[in-house]
Chains A and B, each alone.
Chain A
């Protein structure tokens, strides 16, 4: 990668949905910092309550951070001028999880798609052509323009949602669980389409999901979230195969590997049931952490909140690989030990 300015830089962002002066003990999102590069597939993964959806909505501008700053193409998203705001809004589009709720049942496809052309001077003929091209782009026939959402299946609706998002020529798509509501045989169609669009249109696609298989297929870089915090971010290969955070290791090993010959042994997966509340000052993952146990419960884990920091001493030094663990450098080695025992 060159020294090009990143598309997004997220600086120390916290989002607390609590109203008024009182702050929640654990905000939806705490002190998250990361960068997203132009043209990459960026995955944000986590379990429920990890804050992944909140982060996604902040990136689209649906919500604003309580603290911290999100910079898009060199400009802070909060406090943009009117014209800048419009170009940001249209430049970043969202694809939603539930294709049944993301299309207005009372509006025809033509009517829905026309929203994207509201601010452009076009003759109705030009607009018509543009809409037909758009449908072609997402693999639908132009005759579908005058139909209504209920006439379409989930996969087709998700294509229409994509067409609507693309109608304003965005440079970024934020996709919140774009395939998890779809049938298995339809998921592949939509993922392929997203991949093609990303390549042909040069889109940056930010995928928010719980599905590790999907991020492994789709994303160039992956951020892992846990309880509102960023625990690790790095290249796909690093995160999926050589992770340096005990939570990431646990998450990946918890997913069934899909091979009946090799049923997953899960030495690291700890119960969410037995876990006590995370310490107020220490690491949020400490109560469930296998590494902490293995290292003999070091004091640091419960006294200091680890910050996501670049890993330069590890086996593969990388500026852009961050992990929020005091003992991140020990993770690969300890993981091997854990598996042996």
Chain B
């Protein structure tokens, strides 16, 4: 592999809560290459959205990045001042969220929203030129009737169109990385299908990289190149989408995948379930954070190492899982254990 575009090392985000400091994101490292879509999957409280915001240096108070580095083409974003960061946000790394409408100013038109973004990043061209640029961008995300829609207000558009405008706003300054936090979750499936293929196309034609934050494995399978599974503030498995889906090495990933019900064919008689629920940052278990819910641990009669030790991983491997017994997840071996 060539030099990665974005290299995150040991990123930790802490929140100051009523019960002291809690780590929402705990010592996370990964890299993203150019034009790559990397899925960040997790359940509620897994820290996936906080990690997304941390990459933008937008962790809401009382949270903060307490250690680690975010290196974008060799420049450490975590070390920049807020003023420096402002010039980076939008132009080199931008954010698209689930609720597009909430991020837009309700009293400015679609055209002005995007024109403002261009202007505020020091573009000295005329207003007309900036408007033309906005229109071009909106055409690129295939907003229909651009000339009319430029003059409309956000609430007058359908959910799918709003999300397109949000994508155009995120793209207009030509960022290298886009953080997309559940960008299609609120949309109908037919609209979701089109937004997903639009995002895919943007990566292919512009070489933009996307961090795709979601809870939905089906959309990950659809557009991501690589996937990272988060649980309790940590990445527990990372690899190419094909490998992770074909051969999940972490019991949690395996459980998530079996929760992905089939669309066609005969339905299952009964679903495999995980007991319990995802833990909150204030009461993360010791050792492997998944051990209280782990079906593999149960099959192995609760090995002590799971409760005491953090599983160590070799993050340089293309496919790794943070599990003491990752090898046992290979199909042949699992049968042995079960038998």
**Is A191 positioned at the interface, with any CB of B under 8 Å from its CB?**
yes
Chain A residues with Cβ below 8 Å from B299 are none
Complex Cα spacing A216 to B255, Å: 19
Of the candidates A189, A251, A255, A260, which one forms a contact with B273 in the assembled complex, judged by CB atoms under 8 Å apart? A189
Among the listed B188, B273, B274, which residue makes an inter-chain contact with A210, where contact means beta carbons less than 8 Å apart?
B188
Pick the residue among A188, A213, A218, A269 that contacts B262 (CB under 8 A): A213
Cβ < 8 Å to A, chain B residues 137-152: 142-144
- Bin chain A's interface residue count: 35 or more
**Min C-beta distance of A214 to chain B, whole Å:** 7
Q: List the one stretch of A62-70, A71-79, A271-279 in contact with chain B.
A: A271-279
Nearest residue, chain A, Cβ from B45: A183
Give the docked Cα–Cα distance between A256 and B195 (Å).
12
Once bound together, how far apart are the Cα atoms of A254 and B190, in whole Å? Answer: 5
Q: Is A257 an interface residue (CB 8 A)?
A: yes
- A260–B248 Cα gap in the complex (Å)? 13
Q: Are B189 and A210 in contact (CB under 8 A)?
A: yes
A37–B143 alpha-carbon span in the complex (Å)? 45
A47 to B188, CA, bound (A): 6
A185 touches B270 (CB 8 A): no
Given contacts A216-B261, A258-B217, A260-B242, contact A155 B277 (CB under 8 A): yes
- With both beta carbons as reference points, the residue of chain A lying nearest to B161 in the complex is identified as A273
List the A residue with the shortest CB-CB distance to B272.
A188
How far in angstroms is the closest Cβ of chain B from A46? Answer: 9
Name the A residues within 8 Å of B277 (CB-CB): 153-156, 183, 185-186
State whether the Cβ of B319 lies closer than 8 Å to any Cβ in chain A.
no
Which residues of B have CB within 8 Å of A264? 193, 222
With contacts A188-B273, A217-B261 taken as known, whether A254 is within 8 angstroms of B255 at the C-beta atoms is: no
Does any Cβ of A come within 8 Å of B196's Cβ? yes
Given A257-B221, A258-B221, A272-B160, verify A241-B264 contact (CB < 8 Å). Answer: yes
Q: Does B273 lie within 8 Å of A192, measured CB to CB? A: yes
Tell me whether A251 and B215 are in contact in the complex, defined as CB-CB below 8 angstroms, given that A183-B43, A185-B259 are known contacts: no
Chain A residues, Cβ within 8 Å of B223: 263
Main SS at interface, chain A: helix
| Complex-state Cα separation, A298 to B61, whole angstroms | 60
CB pair A188–B191 under 8 Å, yes or no, is no
Checking A153, A184, A254, A258 against B192 with a beta-carbon cut-off of 8 angstroms, the contacting residue is A254
Which residues of chain A (243-262) have a CB below 8 Å from chain B?
Answer: 250-252, 254-261
B87 contact set on A, CB distance < 8 A: none
Query: Is A273 touching B144 in the complex (CB atoms < 8 A)?
Result: yes
| Assembled-state Cα–Cα distance A279/B292 (Å) | 57
Q: Indicate which residue in A192, A195, A254, A261 contacts B189 across the interface (CB closer than 8 Å).
A: A254
Inside 8 A of A189's CB, which chain B residues have their CB? 273-274
Cα separation A214 to B245 with both chains bound (whole Å): 20
Q: Is the CB of A185 within 8 A of B190?
A: no
CA distance A271 to B256 in the complex (A): 31
Q: Which residue of A lies closest to B159 (CB)?
A: A48
Minimum C-beta distance from A157 to chain B (A): 11
Residues of A within 8 A of B219 (CB): 256
Bound-complex Cα distance A48 to B185 (A): 13
Residue of B nearest to A189 (CB): B273
Contacts of A213 in B (CB 8 A): 218, 260-263
State the Cβ distance, A259 to closest chain B Cβ, in Å: 6
- Whether A259 touches B245, Cβ cut-off 8 Å, given contacts A217-B267, A254-B189, is yes
Instruction: Give the residue of A185, A218, A240 whose beta carbon is less than 8 angstroms from that of B278.
Output: A185
Task: Tell me whether A185 and B43 are in contact (CB under 8 A).
Answer: yes
Number of A-B contacts (CB under 8 A): 139
Contact A272 B158 (CB under 8 A): yes
Q: Which residue of chain A has the shortest Cβ distance to B219 in the bound complex?
A: A256
| B271 CB–A CB distance under 8 Å | yes
Most B CB within 10 A of own CB, among A155, A210, A217: A217
Digit string of B167-190 for contact with A (CB within 8 Å is 1, else 0)? 000000000000000000000111
Smallest CB separation, B326 vs chain A (Å): 19
Is A187 at the interface (CB under 8 A from chain B)?
Answer: yes
> CB-defined interface of A158-184 with B at 8 Å, one 1/0 digit per residue?
000000000000000000000000011
206-225 of chain B: CB within 8 A of chain A: 215, 217-219, 221-224
**Is A212 part of the contact surface with B, judged by Cβ < 8 Å?**
yes
Provided the pairs A241-B265, A255-B189, A260-B245 are in contact, do residues A187 and B142 lie with their beta carbons within 8 angstroms? no
In the complex, whether A236 has a CB less than 8 A from a CB of chain B is yes
Given the known interface contacts A210-B189, A272-B191, the answer about A185 and B256 at a Cβ–Cβ threshold of 8 Å is: yes
Are A257 and B193 closer than 8 Å at their CB atoms? no
User: B222 to chain A: closest CB distance in Å?
Assistant: 4
User: Cβ of B136 < 8 Å from any Cβ of A?
Assistant: no
List which A197-213 residues lie within 8 A (CB) of chain B.
Answer: 210, 212-213
Interface membership of B194, Cβ < 8 A: yes
Tell me the minimal C-beta distance from B285 to chain A in angstroms: 15
Q: Would you call A266 an interface residue if the criterion is a C-beta within 8 Å of the partner chain's C-beta atoms?
A: yes
The CA-CA distance from A47 to B273 in the complex, in Å, is 28
Docked Cα-Cα span, A216 to B267, in Å, equals 6
Q: Which residues of A contact B265 (CB under 8 A)?
A: 241
Q: Is the CB of A217 within 8 A of B278?
A: no
- Cα separation A7 to B246 with both chains bound (whole Å): 44
Other-chain residue from B215, B256, B263, B271 in contact with A252 (beta carbon distance below 8 A)? B263
- Complex CA gap A255/B271 in Å reads 20
CA distance A210 to B142 in the complex (A): 25
Contacts of B260 in A (CB 8 A): 184, 213, 258
Q: A213-B261, A258-B263, A261-B246 are in contact. List 11 more A-B contacts (CB 8 A).
A: A156-B277, A185-B277, A188-B271, A189-B273, A254-B192, A256-B192, A256-B196, A258-B260, A260-B241, A266-B193, A272-B158
Using CB atoms and an 8 Å cutoff, list the residues of chain B in contact with chain A: 43-44, 142-144, 158-161, 188-194, 196-197, 215, 217-219, 221-224, 241-242, 245-246, 255-256, 258-265, 267-268, 270-274, 277-278, 293
List residues of A whose CB falls within 8 A of some B CB: 47-48, 153-156, 183-189, 191-192, 195, 210, 212-214, 216-218, 236, 240-241, 250-252, 254-261, 263-264, 266, 269-274
Could you name 12 residue pairs across A and B whose Cβ atoms are closer than 8 Å? Answer: A153-B277, A184-B43, A213-B262, A216-B263, A217-B262, A241-B265, A251-B190, A256-B219, A260-B222, A260-B241, A264-B193, A272-B160
